[in-house]
Structure formats: structure tokens, C-alpha cells
Amino acid sequence: MGQFCVEIHKLSLEVTHKESRRHMEPITELGLPALQIHHFFGLYVPAGTPAAVEVHNPHALRMVSTPMLTSLDPARIFLKDLPWTFLGEVALRSVFAYCAVFVFLKLSGRRGIRQLSLFELVVILTLGSAAGDVSFYEDVPLLPVTMVFLTLLALYRLTTFATAHSKKFETWMDGKPVTVIEDGLYKLESLEGLNMSSSELFMELRQQGVEHLGQVRLAILEIDGEVSLYFFEPEDVQAGLSVLPPEHRQVVTSPPSQGLYCCVRCGMPRELRVGTTARCARCDNDTWTKALTTRRPR
């Protein structure tokens, strides 16, 4: 029964609701469980049923079987019921989509990929969706998709005009740079408001050759997600929190040896004795790791 589909060929507009319900009895007798009923032009028929019902008139309902689905059928997988000539149409649609996206990007004067704002990213994703639909869906005409591209271009131009003439609107759309590290310490108020974990920030720092926070005079998270770094001079490097992965730095609450340790939450350095516990005076955290004082190679 699971391999059937509903085929409705003819419906009589003269059937009353009462007659329609009466003619549902043959369907009920088929043993179909709890079918949802849809109303078509005064005739009630089951919707979403695994049975196939062919309605020639309101007084004749019979079951019609359809061929079973064949798994791993190459004809269905590659073309289904489409003709081979449709591949040429797909090629033509792909050329149209490519040209439309190219023209949009040229006219919009967009910036580099790594400089995309949130709004620009939304526009690019919408473009990709429209271009994909028109490329291989035979029931998607070209003119409506062209209107999508023109509308997006107008919205993009309007938005860039507004951001160029209003600082408040620009800040609302793009955000603003955020200082995340200053003088070798975390800016706690900045980190708490960002959707960015310390592990992500550490990865960004490592990729730019940073071993510990004491090497960094200033770190700014830009509106495009990049981290801009400004370093201390080698002779001015301070003791700082290691940014290496956990397997390369030991985190403790009670130091195994006396020395300089850094708070793992804010980077504040402090001298600790063996076997003692202490809380950070800056953020009240109680976990520490050995401070590093290495200089960056020139």
C-alpha cells in the first residue's frame, strides 16, 4: 500500500457535501486507518493516503496501483523523466546565472571577500540561492530571477548610500571595532559582549605568531572578524598568559612550584607559592597557568 499515489482524474461539481460523505464509505471499507479528509470542489477525498484513488465520477471509486520505486535506478538518478536536451537548457541557465551574478558584483562595487559585512553576506547568499534555482529547475523562469537580482542590487545600493551618509546607520549595520586585549590583558567587558570564545581568540593569535598575551600591546577585533595586533617592542614584553592549546599549558588551582602565574580568565600575572590557593584580584577567578616571558622573534 505504501507504493501508491493519489490520482484524481475527474471531479463532479454537482455533488453535494452529503453525497460526498456518503461516497467516502467505499474508501473506509478499504481498511485505510484514520485518513485526513480534504475537500475538492464539494467532493471529500483522503489526502496523504498511501492508497491511489481514481475518481471518474462521484459514484465510482476504485484502487489504481502504480509502479514501485526502483532503488539505484540510473535513469531516475541522473535524469528522472527529463529529456537529454534539458542538459543544454541547464547549461544555458548556468551561463545566465553566472553572468547575472558577475554583473551584480561589478555594478555593486563590492569589497574583497574577507571584507564582507553582514548585509553583504546576506546578499551574496541570496544571490547564490537564486542562481542555483534558475540553473537546474526547469519550472523556474528567467525573468522573475532577473527581478530578484535587480531588487537586490537596488537594496544594496540604497544600503551603501545610507551607510555613507549616516554614521549611526553604518554602526548599526556593520558594528564597530572592539578592543579585546590591552597591555597584555583581556578586556573583560569586551569579551563578555562578543560571541567569541577564548579558544577562537587564541587560535587567531597563534596564527599571527603570538605565544602569550604579554607580547601584545593592543588587539582589536575588526568588523569583518579579523583581529588586528600591535606588539610591544622586544625589550618591553611582559609576563603573559599562554595562548597555546591546553596540552601545552598546565592549568592549576594550587601551584606545584613557586613562580609567576597568570589568571586563565583575564591574563593578570601574580606571584604564587607552592601549595597555596589564590583568587585573581581583577576577575575573582581561581585557576592559573604558568606565565610566559618569551619575546617574539624578529
DSSP 94-106: HHHHHHHHHHHHH
CATH 3.30.240.20 intervals, the chain: 178-234
What value does the mean pLDDT of the chain take?
A: 76
Q: With both helix axes pointing from N to C terminus, report the angle between 118-136 and 86-108 in degrees, rounded to the nearest 10.
A: 160
Pick among 3.30.70.20, 3.30.240.20, 2.40.340.10, 3.40.50.10470: CATH of 178-234: 3.30.240.20
- pLDDT by residue (tens digit) across 278-292? 999 999 999 999 999
Overall average pLDDT of the 216-234 stretch = 91
Residue 240 pLDDT grade (very low, low, confident, very high; cuts 50, 70, 90): very high
pTM strictly above 0.85: no
Overall average pLDDT of the 185-212 stretch = 86
- pLDDT by residue (tens digit) across 63-95? 445 567 778 888 777 877 888 888 888 888 888
Overall average pLDDT of the 203-225 stretch = 92
Phi and psi angles of residue 44, each rounded to the nearest 5 degrees, phi first: -95, 125
With CA atoms as reference, report the closest residue to 252 among 210, 200, 288, 203: 288
Per-residue model confidence (pLDDT) at position 45: 46
How does DSSP classify residue 242? Answer: B
3-state secondary structure of 267: coil
